[in-house]
Chains A and B, each alone.
Chain A
Amino acid sequence: MTIASRFQPRPEGALRLTLDGAPLTAHPGDSLAAAILCHSGEASRTTGRDSPRTAFCMMGVCFECLVEVDGLPNVQACMTEVRDGMAVRRQMGLRKLGAADV
């Protein structure tokens, strides 16, 4: 099932990205999370128990917005500004975060 964006459509943006290979456009200054939310209403990741999630707090607090960007996992999409040509992948299932005690 494809789920439409939960937001009103905006004019096409000048920047071109891909999400799991599908094209999407964005405006300079958009956070990656905003661009994804504008594109689709579907989950942008799933948890270790397979429950669907999308970006939530939009301010770097909740870590629900983690996606893979140009091969790099666990990127906080709400804190990342879009760049032309970004290849974004949804993160399905659990990915270990490199958190460490110092």
Chain B
Amino acid sequence: MSDADLIIIGAGPAGMAAASIAVQGGMRVLVLDEQPRAGGQIYRNVGNGAPRGWLGKDYAAGAGLVADLGHPNIRAEFGATVWRVEVGGRVIWSQGGISHISAAPHLLLAGGAQERPTPFAGWTLPGVMPAGAAQILMKTAGLLARDAVLAGSGPLLYLIAAQMIDAGAPPKALVETQTRAMMLRALPSLPRAVLALPTLVKGVGLLQKIRSAGVVRHTGAAAFHAEPNDKGDIAFSFTAKGRRHRIETPLLLTHQGVIPATHISRAAGVRHRWNHAQQAFEPIVGPWGRTDQPHIHIAGDGAGIAGADAAQAAGALAALDILHLAGRIGEDSRNQRSTAPRAALTRARAIRPFLDAAYAPSPEILAPEGKTIVCRCEEITAADIRQSVAEGANGPRQVKTATRAGMGPCQGRMCEITTRGILAACGTSPSPPRARTPIKPITLGEIASLQEQNA
């Protein structure tokens, strides 16, 4: 029995756009999202109506997508953690400690991205957080950092700095890892990026805002180190322009870009590959979001990082293709209706080669050394992992077995990519690590009660 014609995992821009098109085409849609509300991370909490103008116009634009989820043929479940996806379209998800099984002939994975982990000495201390986490606190709780320092690289760092300035909580400093050489390497991609001119113009505007707010900026920063001072604040030191700098701050916010969240797609058996330009694993998807698993489409940042506008367009394309595969629209109609989203996708993606080159993650964060913790759950250091490689571990499985890195509750979400970076730095080219079911920790009791329901 099918509970829906289509199950969508993730209610961000890709999932919401797809849901809306699928119901317009006559489908019954089940949307599952782990967060308490629709919007994904980009439009997080946008439907809540709190007056937070400092988050900007792009953020407010998500409200329309969220409103579309109110369609009577969309059942949207929040706080719903998917922990198993089976071949054949069954999805098992947990909500409030109770597991449910849903089935549909089509499944769209739209789980989006996570921030790239940023390992350096001291990154586990209270007072060090990802910049994206601070932005979530702004969006969901109106919580503003005190005298924070933003450190790392990527366009999101500028956006967050600008939002903090507009909210009256400007950062104390902006410490960027990208170098002049990286910017030069990115220049050949600039002409293509002009297709995404509004995005470029916005970026320049953010930089101007940061400059006129008088925020101190360092670039080419390296050798991050954080330690607690006697007040419990963070003493953050780094090298820039050949000199060591030290800044004290209650909150150090780091960022090195985002990577696709691939635990669900990997556990579902979809083939993945390494994207060298983005330094991340991604599922292999075709122009309509199809994968090598017959019932599974993937759209949005979970299929490769391209941002919210691209995600919304890719969600629309996947939904049109699913309507076509389900026999609800013809191939011609699918192709015709795809013109606008296809063009939007091309425009939105045009800026990526430039951004990927200009704001590539810093090498010492990709493959740290020494006592820097890599696996936060099991407290495994870079030296532990390097030693296991020296002793013969030549892939993610062997490193995991030898060190326990990745065996904690986050199931490798915070360390797999770093383990991969270290393996690559040691001369191997590892395949994507396996993701096992349950994809998120679940109690034995919950599994047992599910088996009773099905008995």
Contact = CB atoms under 8 A, between A and B. Distances in A.
A56 B136 CA distance: 11
A41 B148 CA distance: 13
A31 B36 CA distance: 9
Interface string B143-169: 111101000000000000000000001
A7 B137 contact: yes
B394 to A, nearest CB: 25
Contact of A79 (B34, B48, B137, B409): B34
B232 A41 contact: yes
Interface string B165-179: 000010000000000
Nearest to A101: B436
Interface string B47-63: 01010000000000000
Contacts of A55: 129, 133
Interface in A1-25: 1, 3-8, 10
Contacts of A38: 141, 143
A102 B438 contact: yes
A52 B127 CA distance: 10
B126 A41 contact: yes
Contacts of A74: 409
Interface string A12-48: 0000000000000001011100110110011100011
B414 A61 contact: yes
B398 interface: no
B278 interface: no
Q: How large is the interface on A (under 10, 10 to 19, 20 to 34, 35 or more residues)?
A: 35 or more
A98 B41 CA distance: 27
B443 A37 contact: no
Contact of B408 (A7, A52, A63): A63
A38 B141 CA distance: 9
B145 A8 contact: yes
A53 B126 contact: yes
A3 B140 CA distance: 23
B447 A62 contact: no
Contacts of B35: 59-60, 79
A52 B123 CA distance: 11
A98 B445 contact: yes
B114 A52 contact: no
Nearest to B250: A6
B144 A7 contact: yes
B34 A60 contact: yes
B84 interface: yes
Contacts of A79: 34-36, 79
Contacts, number: 141
A7 B413 contact: no
Looking at chain B's contact residues, the main secondary structure is loop
B413 A62 contact: yes
Contacts of A47: 379
A95 to B, nearest CB: 10
Contacts of B48: 29
Contacts of B169: 8
Contacts of A53: 124, 126, 376
Contacts of B207: none
A3 B233 CA distance: 8
Contact of A58 (B133, B232, B250, B413): B133
A47 B155 CA distance: 33
B410 A63 contact: yes
B126 A52 contact: yes
Contact of B41 (A10, A31, A59, A97): A59
Nearest to A100: B444
A62 B141 contact: no
Contacts of A52: 125-126
Nearest to A49: B379
A43 B126 contact: yes
Contacts of B438: 99-102
Given A38-B141, A47-B379, A102 B129 contact: no
Interface string B228-264: 0001100000000000000000110000000001000
Contact of B250 (A41, A42, A62): A41
B414 A62 contact: yes
A59 B114 contact: yes
A30 B141 contact: yes
Contacts of B132: 57-59
Contacts of A1: 232
20 contacts: A6-B146, A8-B143, A10-B142, A27-B141, A29-B141, A31-B141, A34-B140, A37-B143, A38-B143, A41-B127, A54-B126, A55-B133, A58-B136, A58-B137, A61-B413, A63-B441, A66-B409, A99-B442, A100-B442, A102-B437
Given A60-B34, A102-B438, 14 more contacts: A3-B126, A6-B251, A8-B143, A8-B145, A10-B143, A29-B45, A29-B141, A34-B141, A57-B115, A62-B410, A97-B441, A98-B442, A98-B443, A101-B437
